[in-house]
Amino acid sequence: MLQIKQICKEYRTGSLVQKALDHVDLSFRDSEFVAILGPSGSGKTTLLNIIGGLDRYDSGDLIINGVSTKKYTDRDWDTYRNHTIGFIFQSYNLIPHQTILSNVELTLTVSGVSRAERRKRAVAALEEVGLGKHLHKLPSQLSGGQMQRVAIARALVNDPDVLLAD
């Protein structure tokens, strides 16, 4: 399903160059559960961001279902992120002034799902993670574990092919 071939990524700050990924090769099969382990600063988040289309690689190739992403346009990346990937971020990335229901619905809004369908699917996802009684609360009214479950519901609501958890 996903292949990473000789992926390289560097971050530059003035004259300082930090190699985050140096010729990484990996292959992932359908329905495979993979854990990527390493110390802080070893490139795990960079790799997930590249797989998820949030960041671009400098060289190498990311192949999705047999198709190279070397010539992907911004629109191709948007479609890939909106219909294929679910993200669970380290810091949750919840919008503090919106209810948890709105936070989960936002993913579906970007994907072009109708208002009624968004509401139905977001409610179902929040109920599935045990937050059905908290739909109208703000993130600040939840515990850390509950906020994490909102992030999980948001990642799963689009029924993604790939789930990335950082």
Domain harbouring 13, CATH code: 3.40.50.300
Residue 93 placed within a domain: no
> Is pLDDT at 88 greater than 90 in this prediction?
yes
Helices (H), the chain: 44-51, 74-84, 100-110, 115-128, 144-156
> Is pLDDT at 18 greater than 90 in this prediction?
yes
Percent of the chain with pLDDT over 90: 90
Residue 81 placed within a domain: no
Write out the residue range of the structural domain in which residue 143 sits. 100-165
One domain, residues 125 and 161: yes
φ, ψ for residue 105 (rounded to 5)? Answer: -60, -30
Cα(36)–Cα(91) distance, rounded to whole angstroms? Answer: 18
Residue 111 amino acid letter? S
One domain, residues 104 and 63: no
Q: Which of 23, 56, 72 is the last residue of a domain?
A: 72
Write the DSSP symbol of residue 162.
Answer: E
Q: How do residues 27-59 score in pLDDT, each as one tens digit?
A: 999 889 999 999 999 999 999 999 999 999 999
> Is pLDDT at 73 greater than 90 in this prediction?
yes
Select the highest-mean-pLDDT range: 52-61, 74-83, 103-112. Answer: 52-61
One domain, residues 7 and 57: yes
Query: What b/e string do you get for 123-140 counting C-beta neighbours within 10 Å, with b at 16 or more?
Result: bebbeebebeebbeebbe
Distance of CA 31 to the CA centre of its chain: 17
Residue 92 placed within a domain: no
One domain, residues 8 and 63: yes
Residue 91 placed within a domain: no
Model confidence band, residue 90 (pLDDT cutoffs 50, 70, 90): confident
Q: How do residues 108-121 score in pLDDT, each as one tens digit?
A: 987 888 999 999 99
Structural domain count of the chain: 2
